[in-house]
Structure 1
Amino acid sequence: MAALAGPWASPGVSARTIKVSTWNLDWLTERAAGDPALPPGLHRRSAGGLRQLSAYAARLDADIVGFQEVDSPALAARLFPPGRYRIVMTGDHVVQRAGLAVATGLTVTRHPDLSELDVYPPDAPHQLRAGLDVTIDDGAASLRILVVHLKAGCRGAALTDRRPACRTLARQLTVLDDWIAQRQDEGVAFVVMGDFNRNLTPSDPFFRQLETDGPLTLTTAGRASPCWGGTYFIDHILLGNQARAWLRPGSLRVLTYDARDPAQAPDLSDHCPVSVGLEMP
């Protein structure tokens, strides 16, 4: 796989090119240590860490950011300020909520959260994360967006693997496949992005199942991420219907952190922002 360059360098894009990004912010919460909703020993962000993340969000300078693992709209607004963005988040009652920061000037229409992604029973000790489902409109074209954060623990194993994480991910695949099939049938341009917790490739059975009702563009295909020294992608941006033709060639970028001071790492995130440019008509 070819590695990507780090920070985004925009080569003079047209006015209608929008930058779309996904970013897992790694347990971004201000809950007190010992809160039963948090894992033991979780590192809490310092004020300086939040300022660092805000500075990276400004450098990212994306028009649409699908984010994961954020506890509240108020915290999201610390990174994506109200003068520049509107914050939309899922309504589920988990700490690691999914959301979207949308540049002002773009119209946002909410759809019901894809709560079916929580395939656990109601009495389970923990619940899984819902997907955020919205339509974005710039006055000339619209784009349906689903932001997801899928079950961890089955990055490359077969979907028939009997481990609980793989069985759970396979059930989530069915839900996601149904959502994509509906968008394919409607003929609307759409994006599915977020933390898939899966090393998706064009030959991965998970991805091939998603393509059952029509082709998708896996924007990370054939590339390796430079995040924290290099890794395979688990954060992906998938494009369907007309959105596939909107992809700006060569626009896939990963915004990497300055890791010269290793002590900074816990205050940032274990994921880097991934972005592409879309040339909406």
Structure 2
Amino acid sequence: MATWNLDWLSLRPAGDPALPPDVIRRNPTDFAHLARYAAHLDADIVGLQEVDTPAAAALIFPKPEYRVILTDDAIPQHVGIAVRRGIDVQINPELKALDVAPPGALHHLRGGLDVTLHDHTGGPDLRILVIHLKSGCWDRPLKERGYSCPILREQFAILDDWVLQRQDEGVAFAVMGDFNRRLTAADPLMQELEADAPMTLTTSGRANPCWGGNYFIDHILLGNDARQWLRADSLRVMLFHPAADEEKARLSDHCPVSVRLNLPARETGSAVTPAGGDARGRG
């Protein structure tokens, strides 16, 4: 399973008022390059951020192989998920509360996509929340009034409520996406989440090699039984080649981040590895 922010993926023409004027419109060659990277990633489940429409996503995750589901937010930056055909998907009510902007706000925030995956091999269910939180408070102290920190903290409180519900239900779950926060085990926001529900931050203690290296803001968190399904040392970051600045604008400023899970089969209790290869690159 992977998470990938696709950086304003849209089919809108130049000059469309829904997009900022500095957003580069990708041409067919750019979409073809992204599709080749997606094929190389070869993930069964991909959490998506900054995708405008299902049609745009389908150029990268083709319909014969993947089902794409996006939120219905009234903005061009939707979150969503691409799920390999053969995995049953139950769509749960969106976590619209993550859009903490007032109703009359000029710019709204993104809601969360909430789905439950049913393994066709007879294994256990996995509940997944895909998110894209407010940017600007990457590692600032939470007492800061600027840098979007109050908004991010409000979103984390909503996220904490969702996690608590999954903890009470006892269902295996994952939260993945662009947190816009350089989460570590020592981060107060991560500690607040774990105080109520122990979770595994799969990116903990690692540096992200994407586009020359940085700290992770794209994360995959696992809770309840999903923590036990994580394959050790399976964290991967798929890098783009060549790693040139002009390519970043035409591909994405985020690289796909992935882990592998071994889901136990319901019939025998033995481990079943989902189809699909590891993402390439360094974790």
Give TM-score, length-normalised by structure 2: 0.91
Instruction: For residue 259 of structure 2, give the secondary structure of its aligned residue in structure 1.
Output: strand
Q: Please say if 1:170 is aligned against 2:146.
A: no
Unaligned segments of structure 2, at least 5 residues: 265-283
Q: 2:62 aligns with which of 71, 75, 81?
A: 81
For residues 279 and 160 of structure 1, the distance between their equivalents in structure 2, rounded to whole angstroms, comes to 40
Decide whether the 8 Å contact of 1:113 with 1:132 is kept in 2: yes
Task: Supply the AA of the counterpart residue of 1:126.
Answer: H
Q: 2:20 aligns with which of 18, 39, 42?
A: 39
Decide whether the 8 Å contact of 2:95 with 2:113 is kept in 1: yes
Q: 1:211 aligns with which of 194, 208, 231?
A: 194
Distance 1:59 1:242, change over 3 A: same
Q: How does 1:147-186 map to 2 (within 5 A)?
A: 147-163=130-146, 165-186=148-169
Tell me how far 1:214 sits from its aligned partner. 1.9
Instruction: For residue 196 of structure 2, give the secondary structure of its aligned residue in structure 1.
Output: coil
Map of 2:249 onto structure 1: 266
Decide whether the 8 Å contact of 2:45 with 2:84 is kept in 1: yes
* Cα-to-partner distance string for 1:166-217 (whole Å, 9 max, x where unaligned): 1110110110000001001110000000000000000000111111212100
Map of 1:8 onto structure 2: none
For residues 245 and 145 of structure 2, the distance between their equivalents in structure 1, rounded to whole angstroms, comes to 37
Higher relative contact order structure (alpha carbons within 8 Å, sequence separation ≥ 6): 1
Map of 2:171 onto structure 1: 188
Tell me how far 1:260 sits from its aligned partner. 5.0
Q: Percent identity?
A: 58
For residues 125 and 260 of structure 2, the distance between their equivalents in structure 1, rounded to whole angstroms, comes to 15
Q: How does 1:45-124 map to 2 (within 5 A)?
A: 45-124=26-105
Task: Supply the AA of the counterpart residue of 1:67.
Answer: L
Tell me how far 1:34 sits from its aligned partner. 2.5
Instruction: For residue 97 of structure 2, give the secondary structure of its aligned residue in structure 1.
Output: helix
Give TM-score, length-normalised by structure 1: 0.91
Decide whether the 8 Å contact of 1:259 with 1:265 is kept in 2: no
Decide whether the 8 Å contact of 2:140 with 2:147 is kept in 1: no
Decide whether the 8 Å contact of 2:138 with 2:180 is kept in 1: yes
Unaligned segments of structure 1, at least 5 residues: 1-19
Distance 1:260 1:181, change over 3 A: closer
For residues 56 and 164 of structure 1, the distance between their equivalents in structure 2, rounded to whole angstroms, comes to 33
**Matched length:** 262
Map of 1:227 onto structure 2: 210
Instruction: For residue 224 of structure 1, give the secondary structure of its aligned residue in structure 2.
Output: coil
